[in-house]
Structure 1
Amino acid sequence: MGQSTGEKLHKLSKSCKSMAQVRQILAQIIQANASSDQTSTVANLLSYSATSPDGDLQFASAIFSNMGNLSSFTHNAMIKGFVNGGFPRDALKVYNSMVSGESASPDKFTYTFIFKACALIAEPETGKTIHGKTIKVGLSTDPFIGSGMMNMYSQFAHINSARKLFDEMPSRDIVLWNTMIGGYVKCGRIEPAYLLFEQMPSKNIASYNAILGGLVKEGSLAIARTLFDEMPDRDTISWNTMIGCYARHGSAIEAWELLQLMPERKISTWSALVSGFAQSSRFDEALDGFREMTEDCCHGRASQAALVSAISSCAKLGSLQLGLWLHCYIIRREKRIVIDDFLGASLINMYCKCGFLQGALSLFHSLQMRGVCSWTAMIHGLALHGESDGALAMFDEMERAKVRPNAVTFVALLLACSHGGQARQGREILSRMESVYGLCPKVEHYACMVDLLSRAGMMEEAGRVVNCMPVEADEVIRGAVFSGLAGGYLSHDVMMVGLMDGGMDVLESNVCAAEGRWEAVERVRRRMVESGVRKIPGGSMIEVEDRVHEFLAGETAHPMVKEIYLMLDYVYREMKARG
């Protein structure tokens, strides 16, 4: 191979734009049998394959395995690729090959990436051992490495170790200050984070955003807003943090006002608004936000996060028409919006919650990407509709498709068994969860099992499950026990396991009333008054012209409340007149 050709290939290897180019350059090197002369060129190709968003980690691994002269650069590229690709243990294997003396020695870039790997696998001892290595080679006080170690210790929640490192640094740049503040925030230590923020010799947007995120996390909205207003500069993260915070706390007026003040509204900002409203159960506001987003500067585009939040809001409201509109919105943009497993599961859940089971089934069978989320959503939907046999058959299909279930899948299955009164199948499923899939049952699984047994009248067995389960009974378990007990047996057993709370008082009162034991009803209600328990009012919803109206017992907040009560009075009089 001529020198000019080699130089040309080396230049091309430094400016690759795709894996196709990588393969073409590598093919020319192999064809000319000049791989030994083109080590740096091959290293560049490996780096692109391992670290580029459009790369191919498996292809990079193949190059790495066949390279003869491995440098720190190639090792670092593989370590970074494995860490970013979610394979931290493979990154540690590459690092271990370096320290064993088989190839090049680690440098400061190696340690930065490997500390990220340690944080991902949550092995503090491994991290401490590598920290010790940096001390031996004199790199522990390097700000670049120090930032990586501080971040690692913060991930382990060893915030005091991170602070010790920070204090021991001979010189601290703004990155180290921000890392330490971010570590405190990550561990929920907002007060020391704020004190450190105030001590900073100089601050940048990242400094403000770190402490702003901490104040929002703590729920200190007023202080966060004051800091936000004092910021010399704001970026999209600053605006998103504040707007999303107001939306999550149900402060709709403040959220909308701040959105209007934003110089340029981004898709991520709209997503923060929509998701925040959905999280605070302001589902109408979430859907309004989604509509406005599609009409604003986003040119009809929407993020998956906003779509999932909007679809979830439709499910909560039971608004099938709006749910269908959202599904059509996605279909019309099929080239830009892919219905993956998570988005598919959201749509399935929405159709099931809105009573359109056939629509959910049709969508499920049309999905190109069916993972654990969509399978679980469909099983849960069948269970909600009382199709327990269908839910169990769907699980059989899931196993045949070799899709591994998760803990949520088993909650859905036990719910199906409970609705179908299938105690034997419920026992088998709970057993298989641990014996076949190695999943440890949690309180929600035991609650479903207790509910299943209680509904079937197997109270003794339900009691044994409550007494023997390795987790503490919570309100879900209490409700399951209550639903299966009656009469005097009810109060005795409830008191025995300490399951009294407001919701349980209401349920006991209802059971006593159903049996005509009015003295017991009066006694329970008197106890509720004395302990300050208030019954949550019942409610209903109706959808009119793509708008869901919610009514609570005794409320007068609806803008047309007078007209509604006049109509109800008219209907009542007409019914009475006609017998």
Structure 2
Amino acid sequence: MVGVRHFHSTGRKFCSVPFSQFFQQRRSLESQISTTLGNCNSIHEIKQVHAHLLRRGLEHSSLVITKLIRMLTKLEIPMDSYPRLLFDQTQSPTSFTWTALIRGYSLQGLASESFLMYKRMRRDGVRPTSFTFSALFKACDVVDAAFGRQLHAHVVCIGGFESDLHVCNTLIDMYVNCGSIECGRRVFDEMPVRDVISWTSMIVGYAKNGDMESAAGLFNGLRDKDTVVCTAMLTGYVQNGKPREALELFESMMMKDTVVKIDEVTLVGAISACAQLGGTDCANWIRNIADKEGFNSDKNVVVGSALVDMYSKCGSVEEAYRIFQGMTERNVFSYTAMITGFAMHGRAESAVELFYDMLETDVKPNEVTFIGVLSACSHAGMVKVGKEIFERMQKEFGVTPSADHYTCIVDMLGRCGYLEEALELVQRMPVKPHGGIWGALLGACKIHKNVEIAEIAAGHLFELEPDNVGNFVVLSNIYSSVGRLDDVLRIRNSMRRKQLTKNPGCSWLET
């Protein structure tokens, strides 16, 4: 009988334990440690478990090391630090250990490291699993489809994975996210077996590319539709500005003979469709359905936030505020929707007041919240408050100003006549100004009849938006307002050469 000799500390004797029993005990201990690791919520707890496994002689256990790497990834510990050290100390890592490290690099956006580890894995003669390719295809999302095609070739060459459902689904996702929808469709068409994830991925891909006709063709060809695929189709309609089609699908999901159940995400999609239509009758209809389905706005923060946004966009800001006040739980989306709603309806003081109320809670504003409150300050001419909020945005809340935030500030300064300050801000801002920023400055020049800065703003707009006739018209109106009719004629001739046509109802001369 094969056994393992253990030294007895009490009597200086050796006892022989059958290898099968020793192996079983080791596996049991590995399982216990893995379970303990699964319950860890901090790096300190993980290090305690790691110290324990070192004392028990399990520092080279692939099972435990794999679990350690996965938990460190979950806690967002940089892969090149603790996780990589663990991996490098592992003797003969298994495919699961390799995959855990590759997945960690992928999740942290380190695509090149993921690919390098895969190459090392293959050089060491370790065969990848379907989960290895899944992690690698996800890494391709942050690079481009070229790497994905190389990996796709590996899948075919290695063999055994080209018909694997999990691999094919992640391959479709990769092609869709990299903008190669045709390649994704070829993978889909060649799959011997498809599940709801396969269908949903393709529908979402077509929707992202604005091809709702192809999405509808796939959707209608699917016999057994569930909530996930129906919601994907509904959301696609909403994202592509087709609210009526979205609500028709929603109504079909509500029919008694259907097995599809309405969930929170489906309902939010339908609420967004009603917001696009902008009618209060439609808004009241979907709200009644939400109540009947058990998604009351006072208890469900997701649905409540969507309703606040919808009523604001439908012109009923008071109803939006009533819903907001009735919510027992509020998150950043609730506050942002209400702040933006107030700003949209000229209630700047209410928007700013609610923003400061928000800061008194545990809810922290995000980049969209700041766009809402800065927009309110802009339209109300609240320069001092707007500047203060803009300053606090990055220093206090870690939100890096985007071009949209700068647009609000430029618009605010420009409306109040601080045109030189607005121009200086645009010229020294760290992000590249887009058309919206120069457009805000040009609009302010129109208010204050500032030709010099208007010409600077218009010059940039003519480069960024050469076919936007509105920019030519605004500059022409500014020239007209100060009596420079020769320049008005010059702009008209320039438009004629560029074959730009003035929009109906847009006058050359303002009265």
TM-score by length of 1: 0.66
User: Alpha carbons of 1:80 and 1:279: their partners in 2 closer, same or farther (altered >3 Å)?
Assistant: same
Cα separation, 2, equivalents of 1:92 and 1:464: 42
- Give, in angstroms, the shift of residue 382 of structure 1: 1.6
**CA shift in 2, pair 1:49/1:531, >3 Å:** farther
**Structure 2 residue 128 is the aligned partner of structure 1 residue 143:** yes
| 2:158 partner SS | coil
Equivalent position of 1:452 in the other structure: 412
- Give the direction of change, closer, same or farther, for the CA distance of 1:219–1:148 in structure 2 (3 Å limit): closer
Distance 1:46 1:445 in 2: 49
Query: What's the counterpart of residue 245 of structure 2?
Result: 285
Q: Does 1:88 align with 2:76?
A: yes
The residue number in structure 1 matching 2:226 is: 266
Provide the rounded CA distance (Å) in 1 between the counterparts of 2:436 and 2:322: 33
Q: Structure 1 pair 354/50, CA: closer, same or farther in 2 (3 Å)? A: farther
* 1:173 lines up with 2:183 in the alignment: no
The alignment of Structure 1 onto Structure 2 pairs a total of residues equal to 467
Q: Is 2:315 aligned against 1:355? A: yes
Structure 1 position 429 matched with structure 2 position 429: no
1:492 to 455, 471, 491: 455
Q: CA deviation at 1:354?
A: 1.2
Answering whether residue 333 of structure 2 is matched by residue 370 of structure 1, we say no
Q: Conserved in 1, the CA contact under 8 Å of 2:34 and 2:64?
A: yes
For the structure 1 residues 359 and 49, does the alpha-carbon distance in structure 2 shift closer, same or farther, using more than 3 Å as the test? Answer: farther
> Which among 37, 46, 69 is matched to residue 79 of structure 1?
69
Contact 1:268-1:303 within 8 A present in 2 as well: no
2: CA distance between counterparts of 1:339 and 1:235? Answer: 34
Q: Deviations over 1:115-158 (max 9, x none)?
A: 211222234686588669758xx746432396477447635628
Do the aligned partners of 1:82 and 1:88 also contact (CA within 8 Å) in 2? yes
Alignment CA distance shift 1:64-1:274 (3 Å): same
Offset at residue 232 of structure 1 (A): 5.0
Q: CA deviation at 1:311?
A: 1.6
What secondary structure is seen at the aligned counterpart in 1 of 2:77?
helix
- Counterpart check, 1:416 vs 2:410: no
Shift of 1:449: 0.6
Q: What is the Cα deviation at residue 286 of structure 1?
A: 1.3
Q: Distance in 1 between matches of 2:109 and 2:380?
A: 42
Q: Could you tell me how far apart the structure 2 residues matched to 1:224 and 1:250 are?
A: 15
Tell me whether 1:387 sits opposite 2:347 in the alignment.
Answer: yes
Secondary structure at the counterpart of residue 397 of structure 2: coil
Give the direction of change, closer, same or farther, for the CA distance of 1:165–1:319 in structure 2 (3 Å limit).
Answer: closer
Shift in CA distance, 493/375, structure 1 to aligned 2, threshold 3 Å: same
Shift of the 153–91 alpha-carbon distance from structure 1 to 2, 3 Å rule, reads: closer
Match of 1:65 in 2: 48
Unaligned segments of structure 1, at least 5 residues = 1-36, 179-202, 539-579
1:157 equivalent among 112, 131, 143: 143
Q: d(CA) in 2 for partners of 1:319 and 1:517?
A: 45
For 1:251 and 1:170, locate their aligned partners in 2 and report how far apart those are by CA, in whole Å: 29
After superposition, the Cα gap between the structure-2 partners of 1:173 and 1:310, relative to the gap in structure 1 and judged at 3 Å, is: same
User: Residue 225 of structure 2: SS of its match in structure 1?
Assistant: coil
Map of 1:118 onto structure 2: 105
CA contact (8 A) 2:102 2:132 kept: no
Matched, 1:505 2:472: yes
Q: How far apart, CA to CA, are the structure 1 residues paired with 2:36 and 2:373?
A: 42
Report the CA distance shift for 1:366/1:298 in structure 2 as closer, same or farther (over 3 A). Answer: farther
Q: CA deviation at 1:410?
A: 1.4
Question: Could you say which residue in structure 2 is the equivalent of 1:109?
Answer: 96
The one-letter amino acid paired with 1:494 is A
Structure 2 unaligned spans of 5+:
1-23, 506-511
Give the Cα–Cα distance (whole angstroms) in 2 for the partners of residues 164 and 227 of structure 1. 15
Deviation at 1:400, TM superposition (A): 1.5
- Sequence identity percentage: 28
Q: 2:443 aligns with which of 483, 486, 490?
A: 483
Q: Which one is further off, 268-277 or 304-313?
A: 304-313
- SS of 1:390's equivalent in the other structure is helix
Tell which deviates more after alignment, 262-271 or 236-245.
236-245
Q: Secondary structure at the match of 1:89?
A: coil
Equivalent-residue separation in structure 2 for 1:334 and 1:317 (angstroms):
24
Letter in 2 for 1:108: S
User: Map of 1:213-252 to 2, 5 A cutoff?
Assistant: 233-244=193-204
Map 1:329-344 → 2, pairs under 5 A: 329-334=289-294, 341-344=301-304
Matched, 1:345 2:305: yes
Tell whether the 8 Å contact from 1:315 to 1:353 is kept in structure 2 after alignment. Answer: yes
